[in-house]
Amino acid sequence: MTKINLQLDQFKKAVSRLDEVLNQPKTDIVRDSAIQRFEFCLDLSWKTLQTHLKEQGGIIANSPKDTFREAYQNGLIDYSDDWIKLVDLRNETVHPYDETMAENVYRELPQALIRFREIIFSLDKSLR
């Protein structure tokens, strides 16, 4: 299995797990689990796109934001400020725990899930 296929498989599993937790009744434990799964998904999303860009076009992107910009410029994702917003949201989660931050992040996760599915669809289509 190629590196991109392995990463995409891992990303799909992580997105499925995020979807699973978002379909649970909200409790503090569910919220915190969803945030952790979002972190995995965001990291896997940009790293999978990064690998695809490098393998398919020799494009080097060294950061999450650069990767999302390159993915847009190369037709892998639609333009949306959501990509940069998701990276910023992810960056918020590494700061000391704050209840308000956790609630704010949790509210954004359904939209993040939609975006992650867009990446999966695009990469599946591109790799056929």
Task: Give the domain CATH number at 17.
Answer: 1.20.120.330
* Mean pLDDT of the region 92-109: 88
Beta strands in 46-122 (DSSP E): none
Q: What is the pLDDT of residue 94?
A: 79
Q: Are 42 and 92 in contact (CB under 8 A)?
A: no
Confidence of residue 45 (pLDDT cuts 50, 70, 90): very high
Domain count, the chain: 1
Q: What is the pLDDT of residue 84?
A: 92
Q: Say whether pLDDT at 125 is over 90.
A: yes
CA dist., res. 43 & res. 38, Å (int): 8
Q: What is the pLDDT of residue 34?
A: 97
Is the pTM here over 0.85, yes or no? yes
For 19, the domain range is 3-127
DSSP state, 76?
S
